[in-house]
Structure 1
Amino acid sequence: MIIYNVTINLQEEIHDQWLLWMNDVHMPEVMATGKFLSAKLVRVHVDQPMEGIVFAAQYVAKDKATLEKYYTEDAPRLRQEGLQLWGDQALYFRTELEVLSEF
């Protein structure tokens, strides 16, 4: 399994609207692609002072090939929606996590 992790740093003034959009629109649209088995949105708590509020959206794909299909078939459109709505008020950092074991 592969976890597609998107870390988001938000400016505080868009927090409430962004959170509603993520839960009610964006994450359901990502899941509707059929490329992910599950998803979760978490808030990141850090010990050091940071500007903004940090979240991570995590999507579980069965394998790298499925994630690659998401990148080519769906990601450009879905990323554009967020960019149009939030501009530089939401900064995104994307990583892939390979699941080696679960307990």
Structure 2
Amino acid sequence: MIIYNVTSNVDDSVHNQWLEWMMDKHVPAIMATGKFYKIKIVKVLVEEEHGGTTYSVQYSADSREKLDEYYREHSPAMRAEMQQLFGDMVLQFRTELEIVQEFRVV
């Protein structure tokens, strides 16, 4: 399994608008692609030196192939929409993670 992690530092001036857009529009649109089986929005609990609030959005895919399909078929439009709506008020970096082993308490 693969986690596509997008870390976003959101300027205070657009925070509420961005979070609402993520919950109501962006995440449902990503789920509708069928490429991910789970998405988590996680707030980073560190006070940012330059202000804003940081979030990690974790998109879980069954396979590398599903993630590559997302990149080819959907990512350009999704990134363009984010840029159009928020510009440099939301700074992002992306990381791909492979789950090696998951442990759970039973």
TM-score bracket for this pair, using the shorter chain length: over 0.9
Aligned residues: 103
For structure 2, the residue ranges without an aligned partner over 5 or more in a row are none
1:15 matched residue in structure 2? 15
Coordinate RMSD, CA, aligned: 1.1
1:87 matched residue in structure 2? 87
Q: CA deviation at 1:45?
A: 1.2
One-letter identity of the residue aligned with 1:19:
L
Matches within 5 A, 1:14-53: 14-46=14-46, 49-53=49-53
Runs of 4+ in 1 over 4 A off after TM superposition: none
One-letter identity of the residue aligned with 2:27:
M
TM-score by length of 1: 0.95
Q: CA deviation at 1:47?
A: 6.0
Q: CA deviation at 1:50?
A: 4.0
One-letter identity of the residue aligned with 2:34:
G
Write the distance in 2 (CA, Å) between the matches of 1:29 and 1:53.
Answer: 23
For structure 1, the residue ranges without an aligned partner over 5 or more in a row are none
Write the distance in 1 (CA, Å) between the matches of 2:48 and 2:85.
Answer: 29
1:2 matched residue in structure 2? 2
